[in-house]
Amino acid sequence: MDQTSTSALAPESEGTATPLHKIAEHVFPRKGATLLGVVLGILLGTGNVVIGLAFPSWPATLGLLAVAVFVVVVLHEGLHGATGSLLGYRPMFGMKPPQMFTTFDQEIRRDHLLMIALAPLVILDTAFIAAYLTVPGKVFWDLCFAVNTMGAIGDVWIATCLLRYPPDTLFQDTNNGVEVWASARPPKSREACCDPGASD
């Protein structure tokens, strides 16, 4: 999403607010994520061969895959939004074919954004594994697990970015990645505000 936060304020208990400044911006490495997705897909496919999962004909498998993609995307993005809502943020949903996305127009505390980012991977993958083990239709649940895991590459990347910063740091989810906001003296230049290593 191409929005920039308009509040840029850290809430304080006394009803005042501390100005925030962007201290870094992490841009999502799309080419690297695509390559990782391909490798992950190959590994998951190899795992299916090892466990001896019997797939139906190619047309039937492609049909199941299409349904799995639809189901997983709706559940995955919905879970991002639901988790954010439970934590007090306003989710916004959108689509940039072939992607659907969930974002928020507020700065989000680090630990909250970690929960929002990782909820679909943890909850849905656990549910798909349980369904694979107990519910008929092993191929469908296997495909759902694979699609969700591959789709969570960006979420895991966000989590690794967040863990570089202390818990009181705020983050803004954007179309290109994640911006880092923190209380600081006003930067001397735009370049300085985006460089966490820049001197004051």
**Chain segment 24-78, per-residue pLDDT in tens:** 999 999 899 999 999 999 999 999 988 889 889 989 999 999 999 999 999 999 9
What residue numbers bound the domain in which 128 lies?
21-180
**Chain segment 91-113, per-residue pLDDT in tens:** 988 877 667 788 888 899 999 99
Tell whether 7 is covered by a domain.
no
Nearest Cα neighbor of 1 from 194, 180, 173 is 173
Tell whether 11 is covered by a domain.
no
Tell whether 142 is covered by a domain.
yes
Q: Residue 144 and residue 128: Cα distance in Å, rounded?
A: 7
For residue 93, the model assigns a pLDDT of 86
Tell whether 72 is covered by a domain.
yes
**pTM, whole model, 2 decimals?**
0.80
Q: What is the largest CA-CA distance in the chain?
A: 64
Q: Residue 113 and residue 115: Cα distance in Å, rounded?
A: 5
Nearest Cα neighbor of 23 from 167, 187, 176, 158 is 187
Tell whether 5 is covered by a domain.
no
Tell whether 194 is covered by a domain.
no
| Domains: count for the chain | 1
Tell whether 36 is covered by a domain.
yes
Q: Residue 146 and residue 140: Cα distance in Å, rounded?
A: 10
Q: Is the pLDDT assigned to residue 200 strictly greater than 80?
A: no
Tell whether 49 is covered by a domain.
yes
pLDDT-derived band of residue 18, with 50, 70 and 90 as boundaries? low
